[in-house]
Chains A and B, each alone.
Chain A
Amino acid sequence: MDVKKISIKEKAGFAIGLVVLLLIGSFFFNYYAMNSLGSHSLKRRAAVVRLQKEKKDTIEVLIIGDSESYTTVSPMQVWKDTGYTMYVGGQSGQTMNEMLTMLETGLDTQHPKAVLIETNALYRTSGNLNQLQEMIATKAASILPIFQYHDLWKNAIIKPAGEALNMAGKGFDIRDSVKPYTGSPDYMKQTSKEQEIPRVNQILFDRIAELCRQNGVSLILYSGPSPVNYTMEKHNRLARLASQYDLQYIDMNMETKEIGIDWNKDTLDRGDHMNISGAEKTTAYMETVLKTLNLTDRRKDPAYQEWNDLAETYQKQASGAIARIRGGAQGENK
C-alpha cells in the first residue's frame, strides 16, 4: 500500500475515527463494568469498582494496601465503636501502581480526611521493567478504560458465575479459620540495619505522599502484625521514611503484647495474616489512633442509617466467629 497516495484528509479521518472508536469502546466497557458486573468478571479491578460505587463524600478515612490492610482493620467495627466512616481499598498483592490508582479513585469520589497506608506493598516488586510496564498500562487504562476492561467481551459468550459484589464489610471480609504461628513471638530482633525499599516504589510513594499533601489529606503509615512479612530491618527503613515525610508511623509488630495478639488463635495462616479474632484486636488498637484525628461520629446521622443496618448484621456474624475461635480448640481449621 502506497502511503503517499493516501490523501491527508483520509489519514486524518482514519486517526480521528480511531480515537472516536477508542472512546466509544471505552465508554461502553466502562459502563458495563460499573453497572452490571461483579467480582468474577472484574477480577482485581473489583476492589476499585467497589470503592467507586460507595456513596459520594461519605468516607472519612481510606485505608489502602495489600492483604495486610484488609485483614487488620474492620470499618464496621470502627463504625460501631466510634461512628467514623472508613473504607478499606485493599487488594491481595497490591502493587504500588495499584495503590496509586486506588488513592486516585478514592480522592475522585470521596474527600477523606485521612489515608492509612499498610506498608507491606512498599516492598513488593516485580523488577523495574515490569513495574514500568505496569505504570504505562495503568496510565493508559485511566485515560481509556477499554484497556482495563477489554476482557469483558467474554461475557457475551460465557455467563459468568458468582457475580455478586460484596459491599457489606466496606472492603473487609470476615475470615474465621485458624492456623497458629509457632515461631518466636519476638521476631522483631533489635538491630540498626535497614532493608532498602525498591527504588521504583520510593518514587511511587513520593507521588502518593504528594497527592495527599495537595488534597489536604493526612497520611499515616502502619504495619499490620505479621511475622511472615515484617522484620526489624523493614521497620527501621519504614520509620525513617515516615520521618523523612514527617508522617506518623504505627508498627503493630512492635506492639503485639499491648494489642494482645494470641499467635495460637489470632492468625489465619501461620503468621501471615490476621483472622477475625486478630482483626478485632488490631482494629481496636487502630481506633485509639483514629480518635486523635478529629473525625466525626455519624451514628446518629439519619443519612448514614444504612451503616447502622450493615453494622448490626456484621456484628452478629463477627462475634459468632470470634467466639468460635477463642472458645474452640487450638488449631481449628475450616
Chain B
Amino acid sequence: MGYNTLPYLVLFLPLSLIIYQVSGRNNRKYVLLIFSWIYFFLCSKKLIIYLLLTSAGVWLDGLAMQKSGGRKHLKTALAVLGVGGLFGVLLYLKYTNFFIGIVNTVMAGRGAGAAIPLRHMLVPIGISFYTLEAAGYLLEVYWGRQEADPDFVRVALFLGFFPQTMEGPIARYQDTAHQLTGGKPVTEQQLFDGVTRILWGMFKKIVIADRLSLIVTELYRNYAAYNGIMIPAAAVTYTMQLYMEFSGVMDIVIGSAGIFGIALPENFRQPFFSQSASEFWRRWHISLGVWLKTYLFYPVTTSGMTKKWNRFAGKKFGKYITKIGTSFLALTPVWLFNGLWHGASWHYIFYGVYYLVLLMIEVILEPAKKSFYKKTGFKKNGRFWTVFRILRTWLIIFTGELFFRAESLRAGIAMFRSGFHHIGIQRLWDGTLLKMGLDQADWLVILAGIAVVFAADLLKEKNFDIKASLAKKSLPVRWAAFYGLIFAVLIFGAYGPGYQPVDLIYAGF
C-alpha cells in the first residue's frame, strides 16, 4: 500500500487519525502500534513475523546489555549478538543469491560442475530501513549514550511506525522514539501543515515522477537501442524521476507523521544546490548519510587501527598523506556499505565505489584547490565559481544515477560508453525523445513542474519561508495558491485511464 495510493490517503491514514484522536492520551501509542502492524501486514502478510521478532529481540537485547552492568565482555557479546543477528537476517534474505552467484562464478571458473541453485527469497517490506534503525539503537545502548528502553511498545513503534515502513527516513532512537509514544493530540495546525505537505509530495510524485517513469523504463530496458545524447537524457530523466519520487514520498511521509504531531528527520535539503559530491550526500537521503557517519564512519575513525595509522604516518609522511590514508580507511567501508545496502548487485557496489573515488579526489585536491584560489585571486564564493561548482556536481550526480539505475553493471558501462557515439543532439527535439510514449502536453507539464519545484527549492535555499510569506498575503492570493496546488494535482496528475500506477522506487531497496 504505497503512500501515494488512495487506500492509504483516503482510508488508512484518516481512519488511523480518527481512532488515534478519540483514544485517550495513554492509549494512543497502542493505536499507533496496531495500525503500524496492520500496515506492515497489508504489505508483507505473514512476513510480519520478521518485524515482530526483530522488535522483541532488540528490546530484550537492549535490556540485557543494560543489566550486564560492569561486565564489559558480556555487554560486548550481547551487542555483537544483536547487531550481528540483525545484519545476519538482512544478509540472508537479501544477499544469499548474490553470494551464491559469486560462488558459482568462481566454481565455474575452476571447472567445477553443478552450480548451487538460486533460492526464491521473500523479503519483508522495509527490512533495509528498520534493520539500520534497530542496529543504531543497540549501538547507542552499548555505548551508554542511550538507556535501554523498558517500554516494548516504544521500541516496536520506533522500528515499525507505519509512515516510515516503506522508505524511511531512517531515524535515530533519541530523535523519534519518545515522540511516538507521547500521545500528543492531533491539532488543527498539525492537520493543516501535514495535509499541505502531503499535497506538495503528491504534486512531485504523480504530476512529475510518474510521467517520467514511462520514458525512464523504456530507456533503461532497451538501453542497447540508444546511444549519444540519449544516454545523458536517460541519466537526467532518471535523476529527476528519483528526486521527485523519493523527496515527494518523503513529503507525504513527514506530512503524515506531522499530523500525529511527530517530527521525523528530513531526508532532503535542496540537493541540487550542492557544490561538491560530499555536500550532495549531506543533502540527499540525509538520514542514510547520518546513520553511516554515526555508526560506521566515526567508529572506524576512532578505532585502534586508524589511530595506529595516524601515529605511524603522522611521523613518517606528514599531515597531508596521513589525512589521505585516514580518509581512505574511513570512507571505504562507508561507501561499500552504502552501495551494497541499496541491493545485492554489482552496479550498486560500483555506485558506492564511484562516490568513494570522488570523495578521495576531493580530499587529495583540497590543498591544490586552496592554492589555486590564493594564487589566481579568484573569489571562491564568486557567482561564477559557485555556478560552475554546482553544474559540475550535477554532472557527477547524473553520471552516478545512470549506473545506479542501469539494469546491471554491464548495462551501465555499455550505456556510458555508447553515450560518446553518434551524439545526434537533434534527437532531443526531432521526436526520438519526444514521442517515446509522452506527448507534448506531458513534456510541458514535466518541465513546468520541475521549474516549480526548483523555484521552491531555491527559495528554501535562500531561507525564504514560503508559507510564512503566504500568510501575510491577501485572501485571494492565499486561496489561489492552495486551490492552485490542489487542482494542479487533480488535473495534471498522471493517474486514471491511460496511466499505469507506478510503485515506489525506494520501497524496493
Contact = CB atoms under 8 A, between A and B. Distances in A.
Interface string B30-52: 00000000000010000000000
A76 B470 CA distance: 62
Contacts of B441: 153-154, 157-158
Given A10-B475, A21-B487, A146-B490, A129 B5 contact: yes
A3 interface: yes
Contacts of B490: 25, 146-147, 150
Given A132-B11, A151-B498, A158-B441, 4 more contacts: A4-B188, A21-B487, A137-B496, A148-B496
Nearest to B440: A158
Interface in A101-151: 129-130, 132-133, 136-137, 140-141, 146-148, 150-151
Contact of B471 (A1, A21, A148, A158): A1
B461 interface: no
A1 B493 contact: no
A133 B7 contact: yes
A35 to B, nearest CB: 19
A185 interface: no
A44 B6 contact: no
Contacts of A153: 441, 491-492
A129 B11 CA distance: 11
B496 A158 contact: no
Contacts of B10: 136
Most buried by B among A3, A18, A42: A3
A150 B493 contact: yes
Interface residues of B, number: 34
Contacts of A150: 490-493, 496
Most buried by B among A5, A21, A133: A133
B68 interface: no
Contacts of B487: 21, 25
Contact of B483 (A10, A17, A129): A17
14 contacts: A1-B471, A2-B471, A3-B189, A5-B471, A25-B487, A44-B498, A129-B5, A133-B5, A136-B11, A137-B6, A150-B493, A153-B441, A157-B441, A158-B439
A96 to B, nearest CB: 16
Contacts of A5: 471
A299 interface: no
A50 interface: no
Interface string A283-318: 000000000000000000000000000000000000
Given A129-B42, A154-B439, A158-B440, A43 B492 contact: no
Q: Which 3 A-B pairs have the closest CB atoms?
A: A154-B441, A1-B471, A43-B497
Contacts of A132: 6-7, 11
Interface in A3-17: 3-5, 10, 14, 17
Interface in B423-462: 439-442, 444
A37 to B, nearest CB: 13
B313 interface: no
Nearest to B489: A150
A3 B441 CA distance: 36
Interface in B465-509: 467-468, 470-471, 475, 479, 482-483, 486-487, 490-493, 495-498, 501
Contacts of A21: 483, 487
B497 A44 contact: yes
A44 B497 CA distance: 6
Contacts of B439: 154, 158
Contacts, number: 78
B189 to A, nearest CB: 5
B1 interface: yes
A2 B496 contact: no
A45 interface: yes
Contacts of A154: 439, 441-442
A151 B207 CA distance: 11
Nearest to A10: B475
B298 interface: no
Contact of B491 (A2, A44, A146): A146
A306 B6 CA distance: 44
Contact of A136 (B6, B440, B483, B493): B6
A153 B475 CA distance: 27
Contacts of B189: 2-4
Given A25-B487, A129-B42, A158-B441, A151 B479 contact: no
A157 B444 contact: yes
Interface string A178-196: 0000000000000000000
A15 B445 CA distance: 27
B464 interface: no
Contact of A1 (B1, B444, B470, B479): B470
Nearest to B498: A43
Nearest to A134: B6
Contacts of B492: 150, 153
A159 to B, nearest CB: 11
B192 interface: yes
A238 B400 CA distance: 54
B39 to A, nearest CB: 11
A158 B444 CA distance: 11
A17 B479 contact: yes
A4 B191 CA distance: 12
Contacts of A136: 6-7, 10-11
Interface in B223-244: none
A136 to B, nearest CB: 4
Contacts of A147: 490, 496
A159 B192 CA distance: 40
Interface in A187-217: none
A154 B446 CA distance: 13
B198 to A, nearest CB: 15
A130 B5 CA distance: 9
B467 A1 contact: yes
Contacts of A43: 497-498
Given A136-B11, A157-B444, A158-B441, A1 B497 contact: no
Contacts of B11: 132, 136
A283 to B, nearest CB: 29
Nearest to A141: B496
A147 B192 CA distance: 23
Interface in B178-219: 188-189, 192
Contact of B479 (A14, A25, A158): A14
Nearest to B192: A3
Given A137-B496, A157-B440, A3 B188 contact: yes
Contact of A151 (B5, B475, B482, B496): B496
Contacts of B6: 132-133, 136-137, 140
